[in-house]
Structures are given as C-alpha cells and as structure tokens.
Structure 1
Amino acid sequence: MNAPLYRLLVIGDESALVLPALAGGDDRKAAIDLSRVATIAEARSRLETGVYDTILVNLATSQAVAALPEEWHALASASPVLLYNPAAADARGGAATAARALPLVASANHAVPAEGRRHFGQLLEAVPDALIVTNQDNEVAFVNRAAHELFGKARDDFIGERVSFAVREGEISEIEVYRGKDVRRCELRVSRCEWEGSPAQLLLIQDVTEQKRLNEELRQSQKMEAVGVLAGGIAHDFNNLLVVMMVYAEMLREECQGDDPRLPDVMELIKAVDRGRDLTRQLLAFSRKQPATPTVLDLGATLSDLQKMFSRLLPSNIDIVTDVAQSWPVIADRVQVEQLIMNLALNARDAMPSGGRLTIAVANRIIQRSDEGVEPGDYVMMTVTDTGIGIPPDDLEHIFDPFFTTKVRGSGTGLGLATCYGIVKQAGGSIAVTSAIGEGTRFVVLLPRANETIKTEAAPAPAVRAARGGERILLVEDNSLAQRATSSMLQRAGYSVQSMANGEEALRFLRQYADAVDLVLSDVVMPQLSGPELARQLAVSHPDLLILFMTGYSNDPIVAAGGEHRIDGRPTIMKPFKRDELLAFIGDAIERKRSAEAG
C-alpha cells in the first residue's frame, strides 16, 4: 500500500536536522513532498500558489513571526504550524517527535474539510457541462459524470490518459465530439487551477449542439422572413405593372377583329402577362401572402389523386413508388397542397436526368420535442425521396430562397421550392431537406393534424355582368399607371369613375360629394391611409357605402371563403385581374347590395 503523501513547508536554515528524521522510520514511513524556504517572505509567496498539510517552523523564526502579527496570522490561517527548536539539547529527538506528529496533524487537517470536499465532489458531478482536470503532464486526473456521458467513455479509461488542446487560457474554442455517427458540437474553455495541491488545468466542455441548431433555425427563419417581405413587396409592385399591361392588352384584343394581323402578337402579349401573374402568385405563396382556402383534407388521398398526373409529367426511366398509410386529416388549401406535391416531384425529376426512383410516403408522426422546426404534437409527415445527383452542401442553406436554382440558366425560375416553403409555412407546418452528392435528396414535410372541421363551398364560376349604367365608382389607387389603366377599363364598361391617389384624398372628396358615389374600389397597400383604414373610417361616416378592395399584396389577413376573398370582411379582388374578372367582381357586389336592400 502506498504511503500517504504529506505536503510540508519548512521555514528556517536549520531544517537540515529535521529532514533525516522525516525520511527515517520503518512501516510508518510517510511520503514527503517537502518545500524549504529560508524566510517568512518566501513562505508567504509559496502559500499563494500552493497548499500544504503542515508548516514546520523553528522556534527562533516563530518568535520573529510573533513580533509581526500579520505574518503569523498568514501562516496560521493557511495550514497547521509545528514549532521546532533546533537549539534544544536533544535536537534530533525533537526532530523525530516532529516527524511522528506530522501524520497526526496532517490527518486532522484532512479530516476537517472532508465534509466540504464531499459536497464539492457532489457539486462537480451535478454540473451539466463536462469537466476534465489534467495535471502538469496533461494526464487526466478527474472527470465528472457529464464528461463520461459526452464522450461515452468509462471513467477508469479516462484517468491517466494524456490529452492536449491548443487553446489559450480564457479563450473559447469550438470542437466536435464524435460518438459513432453522432457528432456533438461543443465549446471548450481552459483555465488554470490547483488539483490536490499541484498546478493543473480545468477543461470545461459545453455541449452546444442544441443551442447551435436553435440559433441556426432562428437565423434561417429570420432570413426567410426578411426575404419573404422583400418578395411580397416585389410582387405588389410587379402586380401593378401587370394590371396596366393586362388592361391595355385586352383593349387591343377587342380592337383586333377577324383577320387583323396584330391579333397573334396581342395574344402572345396576354400569354406573357398571364405567365407574369403566375410568377407573382408564387412569390406571394413564398411570402405567405397568397390567399388560401383552408379545408380539411386527406394528404394520402390527395397524393393518390395525383398519381395519374405523375405518369404524364415524369419520364418512363423514373420509377414512382408511393407508400401511403392511414393518416390523420390536415387543414390546408387543396390547390396549394397539390402544387406542393407537384413541385417536389418535378424537382426530383430534374435531379434524375438519367432516371432513378422517386418515393413519396405519407404517415402519421408524433413530435415529442421542438427539434424539427415545429411545436410538439401530432403531425402528418410526407417524405419525397429521389436517387438523383444530390445537392451540394453549400447550396442546402439557400435551397428555399426565391430565384435560387442549381439548374442551367433559363431552365427554371428558382421559385418552385420557395413556393413549397411558403405553402407549408402558411399551413402551420415545416419543410426540411437532407441530401448527399451522388446518393439523392429527401424532403420532409410536416403538417399539423386537424382538430376541427372546416366546411367549404364550391367556388362559383365568374360570370360577366354588364354594367347597369349610372353606377358611380370612386377609384382609390396610389400607382398612377394602374389607376389610369383601371379607370379606362371601367369607363369603357359603362361606369362613371372618379380617381383618387390615396385614402386621404378620398376622404376629402367624400366629405363634399358623398351622394355622387355608389361604391368605392380601393387599393389596400397605400401611403398615408391604407385601404382598410379608409374603410374603417367610412364605415362610421358613410355606413351604407359599398366598399371593395383590390390588391396584389396585403399585410392584412386575406380570408378566402365561399369562392371569394375578403380583407376586413370586405370583398377583395386579387391583382393582376383581367377585364372579365373585375367586371364580374363589381357586378356581383352591386347585385348583392341591391338584393339586400330590396329584401
């Protein structure tokens, strides 16, 4: 059995008499870690950097110390003090007595803080971060429970192992800890300490994997939110331009009768405007501003309904596998969900130019922790997996950004996956992607389980109603080009139109000429006074006035129900609209108002 180690600080030049006695003896021999100093000043310096079981002081030195109360207090408060008189007749006998007393004093010194050390040990075990103590030789002297769990290594295998980190004291270094396929991202801090009386290093390793994941999700969410606001603003401005182009293109079409050589060119112009309208709707879907008609639907049944379309859109060298389990209902817009599935399928097709396998599966999923971009709860999970070329790691971060594409220039808009992102987020779900080069890509969509039933009515087909004549419209539109085009369209249809550039102008006009207006057709997003704010003021001052909205983008919720859109409970038409759509929208509103007044 190893002899106990006693740390002894000897003060005085006569300590040579003591050393043989301390080193002598038989089975009671103690291992001595001895430090020798000549002066009190040196002793105090040693006590600042080391811990000693006993301080051995010759009597002459102690008398000198007694004359200096502060010095004596510094020694006595640091460790037990043994006094030794080398001038005594039996100096060597006294030394032997001191040697025998040393274990007793040291043991008593160890026993006093034993309870404190036990509590300290429990405290170290309770620390959630990994703690590793290494000695001057970089050998592990201590590990706590968290370190054992982080590294998956038994404590006995840790002790004595040499470890080294090129980290300066006070700095933070990021490290990765590998346990099989599991990789934990950690932060390492190194500081100096003292362990069992000797200089040591304390390694504090904090597992920040979850924190990093949450921060990355927050950063990605904030980025997508900012890009969504930008995309919505672009869609708003672009829709106003499309209104102008659509109005004048349709006017040209009306003038081109029969074999007019201009007609094919005009029809191409109208097709281009229609294509632009589709693009802005995708932008609005990404920004979650696209009107949706939520309904309770079966995701598996929706997928099954699209299988025939898959066979027409996907080449024969791609095998299509569907795995649809009985699943809970979800609440989403059916048309948008179909667009989501088709976009993901077409994305997979483009990733497999030489053929492969596309697997689409639907199943229930219970999320226990908020670690998949959604709150804990019941979800329906749809996975879309291909065996294509894969997505480079640097591109994964941008895969849902609008206009980002890995395809050859001109072969894609870069809005397909951005639209998927917006559709899923608008439905309260999440979408994630994993990919490996040469192996393929997997998209995972989670949609929350429906807890209520939403009844929807089939949207009636729009019918063009001729103007009854005499209807007077106050048009409120801040975009001058869109204002002139819309006014011209309405006037050609037989309406009397008065145009205002903003809500404030409209209020001033109505204060003087309220009886000269049958209805207000207002844009929603305008400076100074928005369309909804204008409507709320008019509801007080002119409660019987019919107010309609038109918009290409709105910060106010757009509710779709019964085949029409509403903002603040008022009928709304989405820009860009065609002539027949706008006339049907206004005609229906006038007809409903007259029916209500008559009935």
Structure 2
Amino acid sequence: MQSGSTILDNHRTRDDAGTADGRALRLLDSIRRESFDRLARVAATAVGAPMGTVTIVDDEQQLFRSSFGIASSLDEATGAFSVALCRLVVGTRSPLVVDDLAEHPRLAIGHPGKALGVGSFVGVPLVAPSAGPIGALCVADTRPRRWTAREVELLVDLAAVAMTEAELRRELADRTSLAEAMFRQAPAFMAVIRGDEHVVEMVNDATYEFFGQRVFVGRRAEDALPELREQGFFELLDGVLATGEPFIGTAFPIDVQRRPGEPLEKRYASFVYQPLIAEDGKRTGILVHGVDITEQVEASQAVREREEQLRHAQKMEAVGQLAGGVAHDFNNLLTVLKVNSELLIEALDARDPRREPAIEIRGATDRAASLTRQLLAFSRKQILNPRVVDLNVIVDNVRPMLARLIGEDIVIATKTRPGIGAVLADAGQLEQILMNLLVNARDAMPDGGRVTIETANVELDGRYAVERRVNVAPGRYVLLSVSDSGTGMPAEVCERVFEPFFTTKEPGKGTGLGLSTVYGIVKQSGGYIWVYSEPGKGATFKIYFPRLAEETQAHGEERDVAPPPGGTETVLLVEDEDAVRRLARRILEQRGYTVIEGRNGVDALAAAERHAGHIDLVLTDVVMPGMSGRDLVQRLRERGEIFAQLFMSGYTDDEVVRRGVVEQGARFLQKPFTAHAMLAAVREALDRG
C-alpha cells in the first residue's frame, strides 16, 4: 500500500482567478499537499477502508489527486477511477454510496474502479464556500460492503472540515499577500530590523528610492548604510531596543550617498522606530517607518528665505524712507553752510585768523554731505547721472586713489578682461562702490593682504538664481568682482552685511553704511550683488551690471577744467527753502544773471506771468508743496514758453528718482552744491538748451 500526490500543472493559471475554477485554483494553492495526503489517509482509516483518494477537477480534467493505499504502478487506473467518481459526486453535489460495484445497475459494466479491484466505495463532495464543489473525497474497499450512515456522515464531516481549513488558509494567504504588497508598495520607506546586531530582515521599494540601490537584507544596518554611522541613527536603534519605547523623529536631516562614489546628498525624513514585541514579551527587533519630506522641507526653506528677503526689503524701504526724508532737509541746510563757507573763505585774506575756522566749516560740511549721499544711496533715492561706461576704464582710473586709500601693506591686483561690454551707470557711483568695498577689505586685513579686482562678461541663467537663492533675471551681464584675503565672515554676518547701520566694528569705528551704500547703488543701477565668505577664507563680492548691446560705445570721463563764466540771461529760480533760495539768487546775480523768484510752483507761475521779458532758464527744486518742479515746467511749456531747465534736489520721491533714471533733456543739480557747481550747471543748461 502506498500514498502520494499527483499534480497536473499545465492547466494551472491565474488568468481567470475570478471564475469558479480560478477560485478553486487559489484554494488549492493555499493548502499544503501533505494536508490532502493526510485527508485521504484519515478518511480511509476512520471508516476501516483500505483505499482513499482526494481529487480536484475542473470542467476539462483532473487538477490534483492524492491517494492512500493504492500502488503507484496503478496510477493511471487510479486517475481514471478518481476522475470518474469525482465527476459523479460534483455533478450531484451529494454523497455517492455504492455497496457492491458489481450489482450497481449503472456502474457494473466498464467502470474504471474494476481495474483497481474496487468492490465498493463512498464519495462525498468537497464544497468550498467561495468556489462551490471542486472535487471529491472517496474511500473504497476491495470487497462488497454495506456502508453505514454514520460512516458516510463522518466522511461528510471530514470533507467539510478540510474545506473550512482550506478557506481559512486561503484567507490567510490572501491577507498575507495583501500585507506583503502593502509593505512593498508603501510610499513610506519601511524596514524590519532584528536582534541586537540590527540585521535587516526586509525592506520595501521606497527604502531603495530614498537610500539608493544597495544590499540590505541579511546585513547589519550599519554595514548597509555606512554613511549614517556618525549621524546618530544606530545609537537610536540601540536605545529603542533597550527601553522598548518608540522613537519619533520629525524633519531629521540625513546625509545619504545614493550612488557609489557620489558626494553625500542632504535629505530630510520624518520617521518612527517601533519596537517589535514577541508573545513572551521579549523585544525582538524594530520596525522602521519613514517618510521622505525632502521636497517639503526645501520648499519651506525657500518660502522662509523669500519671506526673509521680503522683510529685509521692507526694512530697507522703511529705513530708506526715513533716511531720504532726513537727507532732504539736511541737504538744504548743508547747501547754505557750504556755499556761505566758500564765499566767506573767498572774502577773507589768507592771513585772516577767521579764515581757518571757515575752512573747517567747509570740511565738516563736505563730510556731512558725504554721509548724506550714503543715506540716499542705500535708500535708492539719490539722483544718478547714468551714462555708458567701461568698467575697465573706471577700475584703471580709480586704482591710484585706492592704493593710497588702503595703505602699502595691501597689494591690489587687477584682472580686467579686455573687450568687456559697456554698462549704463553713474561713473562717480561706480568709483564709490570700489572705494567702499576696498575700505571694507582693508578693515578685514589689519596685518595686510591682497585685494583682487576682476571684470568679465558673463551670462546668468535660471540655475544661478536657484543655486544662489537670489532673485536675478537671466541674461547678459558685466561682472565686477572684489575679493580679499581677510578674516572672512560667518554665514549669519553675510546675511546681514547689506543692512543699513549693521557693523561688526567697535563703536565709533564704523557707520554701518558702507556696504549698504554699495547695495543701494547697485540696485538703483539695475544690477545684482552677491557675497560669499567663510571665517578665515576672505570674502568675495560679485556685482552684475546689465550688459549693453555690443555696438554701444562707452564715453570718456568729463572733467571741469575752468571756472564757469557768468551771463546776462534771465533765470526763474523756484525753491521752497528760503535760505537756499536767497543764497542761489545772490550767487547768480553776482555773476550777472537776472533772477525772478518763486517760493513754490504757484508763486513761480504768477512771477512768470508778471515778467514782461523772456525767461531763459527755469532753475527749480523737484519736490515742493502743492506743485512739483516737473509739473511747474510742464505748465510753463503749455503757455508756449521756450526755455532751458535745471532741477535741484537734495531728496525727491517722484517717479524720476524712484526709477533712478534721468529723463531725456532734464538736468539735475544735486544738493548740497557749491557755488562753482551751481554756476557750471546753469551755464551748461543755458548753452545746451
């Protein structure tokens, strides 16, 4: 007597898993083959029969057969008998009992059981709740036998128990398969780590996506992820395993080497280390569950940086408004002080003891005027006189002065690239930028060092803005770079270096306006500035000015070489500050000009109406109560007047100044001015119309 299992795999497919046959296949897969062998043996033994079979069939043929008590040499006969019996039982869905095969009217002739020496048998259906009847459990004897109702009932019960077990196993297999699929396909990275050595038992697909392709399973976590050794994660595993308390980490930075030979990549994750507890209460391992939040963290950082840039811009604007307002009033006062001190110096004999104090007053006025210009520069409200210039020419012209400014223990090296493009900027303000940056470099090198000034044509793309995290428009630029070998600055200082009144120098050693002035000039000129520095590694300031078309030619510098002549023309002088107006009138009349006064725009219109002759020049302040200087000029032109125009300003907030562009045909006289500067500007305006 032998027992065994026979499987026909050529028809086993999952393509129709949703059909009854498909469900039978899934059910068959969930049962171990030994279980069917045991069922055939137990059934035969339970009723005292020498033979037992379990057969699973579909509409076409046998899928599976397990037999007990039948020699393997009779396999073909066993198969024929099992299939024939199984089809009868499945077809009727009820037990089939044959006490004597020879006397059965339908089965006596040609039945395949005769080849096996079967004299009697009982077959009961195997009915699965999810798939219906899928086969039969059969016991057989070699002789005729009367099968009792109790034996038949026992076989029915065994078949039911077997199918219930099969269903439970199928459900367990389905749930296990679902759990494995959920684990494998989960968007969060997951891993099961076992034992004190933290050996990786399993990981899902997201783990490879986060950490890169590498061998995990069967290796210690520390060996699989060597770049994490100094980052504290394995110590956390030890702690969780020792205490049994889970660890929750939020937005943790993780330096990962996703591919061999590549540099570490900064990523962020929120994760949980959950201890795994066995039934006996022992901690056997840890479940790691983490979510890659790199994109969210980087986006949040970008938002915070943008917000910080906005706050900085708003702070600059607020301080600029305050500084600009102060500068406006201050410049009117300085104009009076400066011109009167010059007139006093000219009137006093060189040996007069009163002349020296007058010179001191003029010097103090110049220093105050310089401070005011810096206030206007970083607030972006100073009047610029932009023209087409060559940065190489500016660097060459200012270099001797810079050498005297910073001292002999600092070497100035220039690397000006020939043929760079022209830029539209105020040449004087470009010199101011270089002086401020060189002074800043000098203060960072108390023991001497090296400063390098470079120029070059560059093209910036969108990637530059992303890498530097600055708001810069892609395009063609001319670079002006100033680097030093000084003490350098930490990141927190670099972030604030352009703020007005921010300084790291001792009290009384700096105003905190030098670099903010540079920032204001660059922005008002349509450029961008960026600083890079580290402690002990010096600093580099890179300034990008928009490059003009290649055919645009830079102008040479213009210098006043002779005292300005006077004239006999008629000037309409409009100024709301009485002291400035009186002073300007006195200077103009001393040089032969006829002056008509106006305290504001309305007063000036009335004075022009009363004047019978021609007005050759309108010299007017820009910002005045009731009517601006530009509006006054426009009103006069609407009357048909033809005249030259010259605007004065210590501070203005109209559209011309906000844009920082001098309109075509307009000339500006910046307060505070000297008598010489005013007369020169008046003469130029009259001569050039």
Q: Quick check: TM above 0.5?
A: yes
Q: How does 1:72-87 map to 2 (within 5 A)?
A: none
Shift of 1:144: 3.7
Q: Relative to structure 1, is the Cα distance of residues 318 and 464 closer, same or farther in structure 2, using a 3 angstrom cutoff?
A: closer
1:96 to 162, 172, 175: 162
2:501 to 400, 403, 411: 403
Which residue of 2 is the match for residue 485 of structure 1?
583
Q: Relative to structure 1, is the Cα distance of residues 394 and 244 closer, same or farther in structure 2, using a 3 angstrom cutoff?
A: same
Give, in whole Å, the separation in 2 of the partners of 1:246 and 1:540: 36
Q: Relative to structure 1, is the Cα distance of residues 517 and 292 closer, same or farther in structure 2, using a 3 angstrom cutoff?
A: closer
Shift of 1:582: 1.6
Q: How does 1:37-436 map to 2 (within 5 A)?
A: 93-102=159-168, 104=170, 131-132=188-189, 142=204, 144=206, 148=209, 154=214, 156=216, 166=248, 175-178=252-255, 184=266, 203-205=291-293, 206=296, 207-208=298-299, 209-288=301-380, 289-299=382-392, 302-303=394-395, 306-326=398-418, 328-331=420-423, 332-368=425-461, 369=463, 370-371=465-466, 372=468, 373=470, 374-436=472-534
Give, in whole Å, the separation in 2 of the partners of 1:383 and 1:308: 18
Which residue of 1 is the match for residue 543 of structure 2?
445
* Preserved contact between residue 433 and residue 444 of structure 1 (Cα < 8 Å): yes
* Preserved contact between residue 228 and residue 286 of structure 1 (Cα < 8 Å): yes
Q: Name the SS for the 2:565 alignment partner.
A: coil
Q: Relative to structure 1, is the Cα distance of residues 577 and 397 closer, same or farther in structure 2, using a 3 angstrom cutoff?
A: same
Shift of 1:397: 2.6
Give, in whole Å, the separation in 2 of the partners of 1:447 and 1:425: 9
Give, in whole Å, the separation in 1 of the partners of 2:475 and 2:324: 31
1:540 aligns with 2:638: yes
1:407-432 per-residue CA deviation (whole Å, 9 max, x = no partner) reads: 33444343322232233333433222
Which residue of 1 is the match for residue 674 of structure 2?
578
Give, in whole Å, the separation in 2 of the partners of 1:210 and 1:437: 25
5+ residue gaps, structure 1: 1-22, 30-79, 126-130, 168-172, 193-198, 594-599
Give, in whole Å, the separation in 1 of the partners of 2:418 and 2:687: 46
Give, in whole Å, the separation in 2 of the partners of 1:482 and 1:465: 21
1:326-358 per-residue CA deviation (whole Å, 9 max, x = no partner) reads: 563241444433332333222212111122333
Give, in whole Å, the separation in 2 of the partners of 1:501 and 1:176: 66
Which residue of 1 is the match for residue 15 of structure 2?
none
Which residue of 2 is the match for residue 10 of structure 1?
none
Give, in whole Å, the separation in 2 of the partners of 1:253 and 1:302: 33
Shift of 1:244: 1.7
Identity in percent: 35
Amino acid in structure 2 at the alignment position of 1:550: M
Give, in whole Å, the separation in 2 of the partners of 1:552 and 1:307: 30
Amino acid in structure 1 at the alignment position of 2:165: A
* Preserved contact between residue 488 and residue 534 of structure 2 (Cα < 8 Å): yes
Q: Relative to structure 1, is the Cα distance of residues 514 and 414 closer, same or farther in structure 2, using a 3 angstrom cutoff?
A: farther
* Preserved contact between residue 269 and residue 291 of structure 2 (Cα < 8 Å): no
Give, in whole Å, the separation in 2 of the partners of 1:499 and 1:251: 21
Shift of 1:242: 0.9
1:557 to 636, 644, 656: 656
When Rg is computed on C-alpha atoms for both structures, the one with the higher figure is 2
Q: Name the SS for the 1:506 alignment partner.
A: helix
User: What is the root-mean-square deviation in Å for CA atoms of aligned residues?
Assistant: 4.8
Which residue of 1 is the match for residue 621 of structure 2?
523
1:465 aligns with 2:565: yes
Q: Name the SS for the 2:573 alignment partner.
A: strand
Give, in whole Å, the separation in 1 of the partners of 2:632 and 2:324: 22
* Preserved contact between residue 467 and residue 493 of structure 1 (Cα < 8 Å): yes
Q: Relative to structure 1, is the Cα distance of residues 111 and 518 closer, same or farther in structure 2, using a 3 angstrom cutoff?
A: same
Q: Relative to structure 1, is the Cα distance of residues 402 and 211 closer, same or farther in structure 2, using a 3 angstrom cutoff?
A: closer
Give, in whole Å, the separation in 2 of the partners of 1:479 and 1:493: 22
* Preserved contact between residue 573 and residue 585 of structure 1 (Cα < 8 Å): yes
Q: Name the SS for the 2:330 alignment partner.
A: helix
* Preserved contact between residue 357 and residue 387 of structure 1 (Cα < 8 Å): yes
Shift of 1:265: 0.8
Q: Relative to structure 1, is the Cα distance of residues 521 and 188 closer, same or farther in structure 2, using a 3 angstrom cutoff?
A: farther
Shift of 1:269: 0.9
Shift of 1:266: 0.8
* Preserved contact between residue 344 and residue 417 of structure 1 (Cα < 8 Å): yes
Q: Relative to structure 1, is the Cα distance of residues 423 and 183 closer, same or farther in structure 2, using a 3 angstrom cutoff?
A: farther
Give, in whole Å, the separation in 1 of the partners of 2:501 and 2:252: 35
Shift of 1:577: 1.2
Q: Relative to structure 1, is the Cα distance of residues 442 and 548 closer, same or farther in structure 2, using a 3 angstrom cutoff?
A: closer
5+ residue gaps, structure 2: 1-29, 37-127, 133-152, 217-223, 226-232, 241-245, 258-262, 275-286
* Preserved contact between residue 559 and residue 567 of structure 1 (Cα < 8 Å): no
Shift of 1:544: 2.1
Shift of 1:456: 3.1
Which residue of 2 is the match for residue 8 of structure 1?
none
Give, in whole Å, the separation in 1 of the partners of 2:687 and 2:402: 43
Give, in whole Å, the separation in 2 of the partners of 1:302 and 1:312: 16
**TM-score normalised to structure 2 length:** 0.59
Which residue of 2 is the match for residue 63 of structure 1?
none
Shift of 1:483: 3.2
Amino acid in structure 2 at the alignment position of 1:340: I
* Preserved contact between residue 256 and residue 267 of structure 2 (Cα < 8 Å): no
Amino acid in structure 2 at the alignment position of 1:384: V
1:364-385 per-residue CA deviation (whole Å, 9 max, x = no partner) reads: 4443322343222343444433
Q: Name the SS for the 1:203 alignment partner.
A: strand
Q: Relative to structure 1, is the Cα distance of residues 238 and 376 closer, same or farther in structure 2, using a 3 angstrom cutoff?
A: same
Q: Relative to structure 1, is the Cα distance of residues 132 and 342 closer, same or farther in structure 2, using a 3 angstrom cutoff?
A: same
Shift of 1:152: 6.1
Q: Relative to structure 1, is the Cα distance of residues 529 and 148 closer, same or farther in structure 2, using a 3 angstrom cutoff?
A: farther
Give, in whole Å, the separation in 2 of the partners of 1:224 and 1:559: 14
Give, in whole Å, the separation in 2 of the partners of 1:576 and 1:519: 20
1:243-264 per-residue CA deviation (whole Å, 9 max, x = no partner) reads: 1212322333344235322111
Q: Relative to structure 1, is the Cα distance of residues 583 and 183 closer, same or farther in structure 2, using a 3 angstrom cutoff?
A: farther
Amino acid in structure 2 at the alignment position of 1:574: Q
Shift of 1:325: 4.6
* Preserved contact between residue 433 and residue 518 of structure 2 (Cα < 8 Å): yes
Higher relative contact order (CA 8 A, sep 6+): 1
Which residue of 1 is the match for residue 8 of structure 2?
none
Q: Relative to structure 1, is the Cα distance of residues 362 and 499 closer, same or farther in structure 2, using a 3 angstrom cutoff?
A: closer
Amino acid in structure 1 at the alignment position of 2:558: A
Q: Relative to structure 1, is the Cα distance of residues 583 and 298 closer, same or farther in structure 2, using a 3 angstrom cutoff?
A: closer
Which residue of 1 is the match for residue 50 of structure 2?
none
Q: Relative to structure 1, is the Cα distance of residues 349 and 591 closer, same or farther in structure 2, using a 3 angstrom cutoff?
A: closer
Q: How many aligned residue pairs are there? A: 491
Q: Relative to structure 1, is the Cα distance of residues 315 and 252 closer, same or farther in structure 2, using a 3 angstrom cutoff?
A: closer
**TM-score normalised to structure 1 length:** 0.67
Q: Relative to structure 1, is the Cα distance of residues 315 and 267 closer, same or farther in structure 2, using a 3 angstrom cutoff?
A: closer
Give, in whole Å, the separation in 1 of the partners of 2:666 and 2:416: 40
